[in-house]
Amino acid sequence: MAGSGKTTFVQRITAHLHAKKNPPYVINLDPAVHEVPFPTNIDVRDTVNYKEVMKQYRLGPNGGIVTSLNLFATRFHEVMEFIEKKGSECKYVVLDTPGQIEVFTWSASGSIITEGLASTFPTVIVYVMDTPRSINPVTFMSNMLYACSILYKTKLPFVVAMNKTDIVDHSFAVEWMTDFEVFQDALQHETSYASNLTRSMSLVLDEFYSNLRAVGVSAVTGAGVPEFFTAIDEAAEEYRRDYKPEYDRLKREKEVKTEAEREEAIARLRRDMGKGEDVPLAASLRDEVRSKHAGTGMVLGLGGADDDSDDDEICQEEEEDEDERKEYESFKRFLKKQDTKPAEQKQDNG
């Protein structure tokens, strides 16, 4: 959630881990941030220039963030390699994402990064909520709907960090999540259309609340950080117990399907190669005509003309040959007749 103190909270948990002599591997995925208040091992700004992307592609702020992350995602396999190398040294890998939920959660790059991590490492999604801004029940419900959408989009263990408890205690939010009637009472003073929608949605989210880990934290004072890491460890164990077997099953099914498709393609190719019979090709049109007269069952032309055209030409040639033969016989009879005329004239004179 934008403005919830997410980056400050990352700074707090990073400092907490360093103090425990357990330094994390930190990655910044927000290309638009001006200054990162914590040490990073990988920074998207070192790879992609956010302002240059906006200028070159003529994009607005959110479009520039999405495009920058998309460009970075094309090289995320290299990030995975760095994380794997540091896996024996770092227990935790912390990624700070852009505050705009739709920019990361519902983008192609967000899916690539999330699924890439979840396929290899125990991955937990942390939703940082602004507690003081959520004292209004309608705003609280909006936050819960955001959290619910992220949970069902990523399908990974989920923790809600209710930040800024140094300003407003988060106990009211926990009570609203656990007691439906208390939340309905808080909505009595709301008369807008949104409040009516909130009443209806509160019934739907009961199941969501029952499996949700919620922890109150303060990025300023550090309150609740130990409890936060306890929730993270529990979520990581849930990943190993429930989510990892499912990911492995889906991966195996995909590999089996891919192998079956490959084998089917090879078998289809082999069947196609074994079909048909050898067909003799005519060396010339004369051989073709001779083959046709000899009763060959199939005749292939020389190309460029249809079978009907070839038949017409053959018939035409045969007719021309017949005409020439008749003319030749007629001419021979004429010559023979001319030879007999002088002999007849001599007999008449004698």
Residue-wise pLDDT tens digits, 55-66: 999 999 989 999
User: pLDDT category, 260, cuts 50, 70, 90?
Assistant: very high
Which residues are within 8 A (CB) of 227 and not within 5 positions of it... i.e. 6 or more apart?
215, 216, 217
pLDDT of residue 28: 96
Q: ∠121-77-156 over CA atoms, to 5°?
A: 35
Query: How close are the terminal C-alpha atoms of the chain, in Å?
Result: 138
Which tens digit of pLDDT belongs to each residue from 273-328? 765 565 565 555 455 545 555 554 444 444 444 545 555 665 666 666 777 777 77
Closest-CA residue to 101 (of 159, 62, 51): 62
Average pLDDT for 236-251: 89
Question: Is the predicted pLDDT of residue 18 greater than 90, yes or no?
Answer: yes
Which tens digit of pLDDT belongs to each residue from 121-180? 999 999 999 999 999 998 998 899 899 899 989 989 999 999 999 999 999 999 999 888
Contact call for residues 291 and 282 (beta carbons, < 8 A): yes
Range of weakest confidence among 16-20, 39-43, 309-313: 309-313
DSSP string, 244-274: HHHHHHHHHHHHHHHHHHHHHHHHHHHHHHH
Residue linked to tokens 């638009």: 32
Range of weakest confidence among 22-26, 120-124, 179-183, 195-199: 195-199
Report the half-sphere exposure of 33 (CA within 13 A, side-chain side): 22
In the chain, the amino acid numbered 289 is: V
Q: What is the pTM of this model?
A: 0.71
State what percent of residues in the chain have pLDDT above 70.
82
Which strands sit side by side in the sheet containing 42-43, from one edge to the other? 42-43, 25-28, 93-96
Average pLDDT for 77-93: 91
pLDDT of residue 341: 58
Token pair recorded at residue 259 = 């192998």
pLDDT of residue 37: 93
**Mean of per-residue pLDDT scores for the chain:** 84
